[in-house]
Chains A and B, each alone.
Chain A
Amino acid sequence: MERRAFYRNGTLPWLLLAPQLLLVLVFFYWPTSQALYWAFTLEQAWGGGNTWVGFANFLAIFRDGQYWATVGRSAFYAICATGLSMAIALTLAMFVDRALKGTRIFQSVFVWPYAIAAPAAGVAFRFIFSPEAGLIGSINDIWPGIWSPATNGWHALGMVIVCHAWLGIGYNFIFFLAALQMIPKSITEAGAMDGARPFQRMLDLQLPLIAPTVFFLMIMNLISSFTDSFGLIDTMTEGGPIGATEVMVYNIYIDGFKGLDYSGAAAQSIVLMVLVIALTFVQFRWVEKRVHYS
């Protein structure tokens, strides 16, 4: 919808926009271009500025088998966390959407994980999954050593993924439920008149109709799994054991702030940025083909 009632004023809009534009310039565009600059240059050992090295920084990380392992791990992490979180949230939303008696309580509780800081959830899950403590750890009493996230990389990664998925339930649930409730009631009624039972209506009518939301959430979840995992990993495993939970964001932090390799970290940042932009782009292309209720 194009607006026709505009104000015309030479300076006012600029005054209104100035604070936001300045902030965005200083804290977004400058750092982003700085990252590009660093990614293509190398800092001299004894000061004296940066020298242009072209794609050398990228080649360095791409030749590094460790880096590819990190990328692979990140992808695995992202796909598992996204799949798990969305599957749970979608199931819950579908059932809540039936609006049986007492559903409201469930509905509000399912949103709660959204409010929790990743590190806080990380701490809680670390305790829940701790091999020494008395929850999941109890199974070690039955089969000693069967659960050991401190030494087994898969255990550690699985634990972080479960926690990430749990954190995402609230957000995903809100969107799924909203999408389901946006389906006109008469469509469900028409389905009932056509003889479809509730479960069949879920599969035949509701699920296809919220496909755009499923896709949208998938992209949002993938992006968040690639970028938001720092707080969890830092509190749960610190990348261990032996790098088994080091994902891209964590690697950037380690290389940049612990290893002080700005160029390498910048190159990694650029790779991650390209990945995120690509995902967003896919999302935008899809949005244009969305189903419309008419």
Chain B
Amino acid sequence: MSAITLKSVKKRYQKSLVVHGVDAEIEQGEFVVILGPSGCGKSTLLRMIAGLEDITEGEILIGGTVVNKLEPRERGCAMVFQNYALYPHMSVAQNIGYALKVAGMPRAERDGKVAKVAKSVSLEAYLDRKPGELSGGQRQRVAMARAMVREPKVFLFDEPFSNLDAKLRVAMRAEVRNLHRSLGVTSVFVTHDQTEAMTLADRLIIMNSGIVEQIGKPSEVYHRPASLFVADFIGSPAMNLVRGHFAQDGYFRHGKGGMIHLPTIAPALISQEVSIGVRPELVRRVSATAKGAIAAVVDYTEELGAARLIYADADGSRIISVDTATDALGTGMPIHFAIDPADLHVFSHDTGRRIELGEAQRAATQTRINA
């Protein structure tokens, strides 16, 4: 039985639909991250699971029970809010213990639990402080302790690290990961930060304008993006994407009129309007004479330290390549790339969905996903 089930969940504000029917299954003990650009409906979805927003249509089940009509306190979820939402007039201990107090737990038992949880997030020295006297990281810990103390069935995180600086964010990420490993509680985490999402998630739910684009493991999402949006959204530097069609002559003709020599991989695709994509790290530099070499001209390079990014122009379309060579490259210099057809992603122009190119490609991506 899944921990959380979403059955074509919709959310409408006045006239506008912000969540268009989401279906998903979240397994017991799984750490699921909902990722998407701002305004994609990810927070709304989380808040519907929490019971903070009404569900316009569809059903949400937690532990097999439909919770549509249940109040937040009846759902067994605990939530960490974006701005922490600590009670400013209560001490850290009171903040952590408030839910237990509401539940009518006797004082002594409560104090014991609060102390134990506070210890686990190293807050025991701050129990008497007010939230206003704490640093951002400490407030974050209080917010997590407050969620943990209730021993909930589900943890919900609503962009909890967005107010922290970059360094603290990395540290908190590790802490959340450890926490999840030791407690094993089903967790749903909302963020717009793809690094955060990739490192934390067992599985990702990628959303865009109220629609689920793809659900899958981080490596799946990266190596086998289900849609043009996912391909473009995930990965930095972003995937090389070119729109056009395959011609009979083995060339790919793109919008600007230029062409790239790409031996046709799927005859069925000929003259169909598609976008093709390839990850920059899979664009290899080759000599001019190599078989299937694509000729291009260097625009500029970006030094990353361990590697560099080459921004090149191949007959009017931009190609980015991750390059580890150290030779001097200047603007205007000719350069040649090769792309393994198995590394190519093709997306339908009409639907934006992925077009599978047959077994060879499937096998190649599967190896990468499993690696």
Q: Which residues of A contact B (CB under 8 A)?
A: 184, 186-187, 189-197, 200, 204-205, 208-209, 211, 291-294
Q: Find chain B residues with CB under 8 A from A205 CB.
A: 87
Contact digits for B188-208, partner A, Cβ 8 Å, 1 yes 0 no? 000000000000000000000
Choose one: B83, B89, B102; the contact of A186 (CB below 8 Å). Answer: B83
Choose one: A187, A194, A292; the contact of B73 (CB below 8 Å). Answer: A194
CA distance A292 to B86 in the complex (A): 12
Q: How far is the CB of B91 from chain A (nearest CB, A)?
A: 12
Contact A193:B132 (CB < 8 A) given known A205-B87, A209-B89: no
Q: Find chain A residues with CB under 8 A from B82 CB.
A: 186
Contact between chains at A293 and B88 (CB < 8 Å): yes
**In chain B between 83 and 139, which residues have their CB closer than 8 angstroms to a CB of chain A?**
83, 85-89, 98-99, 102-103, 131-132
Q: Find chain B residues with CB under 8 A from A186 CB.
A: 81-83, 85
Contact A204:B79 (CB < 8 A) given known A189-B85, A195-B73: no
Chosen A-B contacts, 12 in total, with CB atoms closer than 8 Å, are A187-B87, A189-B52, A189-B79, A191-B98, A193-B78, A193-B79, A194-B99, A194-B102, A194-B150, A195-B103, A291-B89, A293-B88
Contact between chains at A190 and B85 (CB < 8 Å): yes
Contact between chains at A190 and B88 (CB < 8 Å): no
Q: How far is the CB of A137 from chain B (nearest CB, A)?
A: 48
Choose one: B72, B86, B131; the contact of A193 (CB below 8 Å). Answer: B72
Interface centre among A184, A186, A292 (most CB of B within 10 A): A186
B-side interface size class: 20 to 34
Instruction: Check if B50 is an interface residue, CB within 8 A of chain A.
Output: yes
Instruction: Closest A residue to B139 by CB, please name it.
Output: A294
Contact between chains at A195 and B85 (CB < 8 Å): no
Contact A190:B87 (CB < 8 A) given known A195-B102, A195-B103, A294-B131: yes
Q: How far is the CB of B138 from chain A (nearest CB, A)?
A: 12
Contact between chains at B131 and A195 (CB < 8 Å): no
Contact A193:B50 (CB < 8 A) given known A186-B82, A186-B83, A291-B89: yes
Interface centre among B77, B79, B82, B89 (most CB of A within 10 A): B89
CA distance A204 to B86 in the complex (A): 13
Interface centre among A195, A197, A200 (most CB of B within 10 A): A195
Q: How far is the CB of B237 from chain A (nearest CB, A)?
A: 36
Q: Find chain A residues with CB under 8 A from B52 CB.
A: 189, 192-193
Q: How far is the CB of A208 from chain B (nearest CB, A)?
A: 4
Q: Find chain A residues with CB under 8 A from B71 CB.
A: 192
Interface centre among B77, B83, B85, B86 (most CB of A within 10 A): B85
Contact A200:B102 (CB < 8 A) given known A186-B85, A193-B79: yes
Interface centre among A186, A191, A193, A195 (most CB of B within 10 A): A193
CA distance A189 to B98 in the complex (A): 13
CA distance A194 to B101 in the complex (A): 9
CA distance A294 to B99 in the complex (A): 21
Q: Find chain A residues with CB under 8 A from B50 CB.
A: 193
Instruction: Closest B residue to A186 by CB, please name it.
Output: B85
Instruction: Closest A residue to B156 by CB, please name it.
Output: A193
Contact between chains at B81 and A196 (CB < 8 Å): no
Contact between chains at B73 and A193 (CB < 8 Å): yes
Contact between chains at A292 and B132 (CB < 8 Å): yes
CA distance A184 to B52 in the complex (A): 14
Contact between chains at B85 and A192 (CB < 8 Å): no
Q: How far is the CB of A216 from chain B (nearest CB, A)?
A: 16
Q: Find chain B residues with CB under 8 A from A200 CB.
A: 102
CA distance A33 to B113 in the complex (A): 64
CA distance A194 to B85 in the complex (A): 12
Q: Find chain A residues with CB under 8 A from B51 CB.
A: 192
Contact between chains at B85 and A196 (CB < 8 Å): no
Q: Find chain A residues with CB under 8 A from B146 CB.
A: 190, 194
Q: Find chain A residues with CB under 8 A from B79 CB.
A: 189-190, 193
Q: How far is the CB of A188 from chain B (nearest CB, A)?
A: 9
CA distance A193 to B72 in the complex (A): 5
Contact digits for B58-85, partner A, Cβ 8 Å, 1 yes 0 no? 0000000000000111000111011101
Q: How far is the CB of B273 from chain A (nearest CB, A)?
A: 46
Contact A192:B83 (CB < 8 A) given known A293-B88, A294-B132: no
CA distance A209 to B50 in the complex (A): 24
Instruction: Closest A residue to B98 by CB, please name it.
Output: A194
Q: Find chain A residues with CB under 8 A from B102 CB.
A: 194-196, 200
Q: Find chain A residues with CB under 8 A from B87 CB.
A: 187, 190-191, 205, 209
CA distance A272 to B363 in the complex (A): 91
Q: Find chain A residues with CB under 8 A from B86 CB.
A: 190
Contact between chains at B85 and A294 (CB < 8 Å): no
Interface centre among B87, B103, B146 (most CB of A within 10 A): B87
List the 4 closest pairs (A to B, CB-CB), nearest first: A195-B73, A194-B99, A186-B85, A190-B85
Choose one: B81, B83, B89, B99; the contact of A195 (CB below 8 Å). Answer: B99
Instruction: Closest B residue to A292 by CB, please name it.
Output: B132
Instruction: Closest B residue to A189 by CB, please name it.
Output: B52
